[in-house]
Amino acid sequence: EMQVDELQRLLAGLEKEHRSLVAEMKDGEAELARLRSVEGDKLAQQDRAAQLEKEVAMLREKIHHLDDMLKSQQRKVRQMIEQLQNSKTVIQAKDSTIQELKERVSYLEAENLEMHDRIEHLIEKQVSRGGHSSRARSKSEYVSSKRLTGPKPLPLIRVVET
């Protein structure tokens, strides 16, 4: 964006110079026309006319060169703007994908918690039923029942010996 701003600033300067050169050329052409219309073949007027013709030719060449530079800079600015827009589109697409993945993770975490609740409920049922059966289960049969910690809470894992 800074490069685009810099190029736009340069373009504005080139356009300003272009306008001043066009105005100067018009002034020179007007003076040349005035000198030609004046009667007399004075040597000074002829020299001035020749000088003005040279200046006008030189100014036309400068204007042509500036026009070429302006077109080139405008192309560069358009390309940079296109690149910025393409980059924004790519970023938006990636942001959208990230958001979808976040939603999926949230959904899966909720589903995981629900599954843990069901497992705990089933284990509690088995433990309560186990007390009535011929073989009572001890707590030592449940080898592991702990929640792992990390950047995000991990699912509750229980391993049951059968």
Q: How high is the mean pLDDT of the chain?
A: 81
Distance CA 20, CA 148 (A): 75
pLDDT of residue 104: 96
At 138 the pLDDT is 45
Instruction: Give the predicted TM-score (pTM) of the model.
Output: 0.45
Provide the pLDDT for residue 97: 96
How far, CA to CA in Å, does 116 sit from each of 5, 90, 145, 155? Answer: 57, 38, 11, 8
End-to-end CA distance of the chain: 66
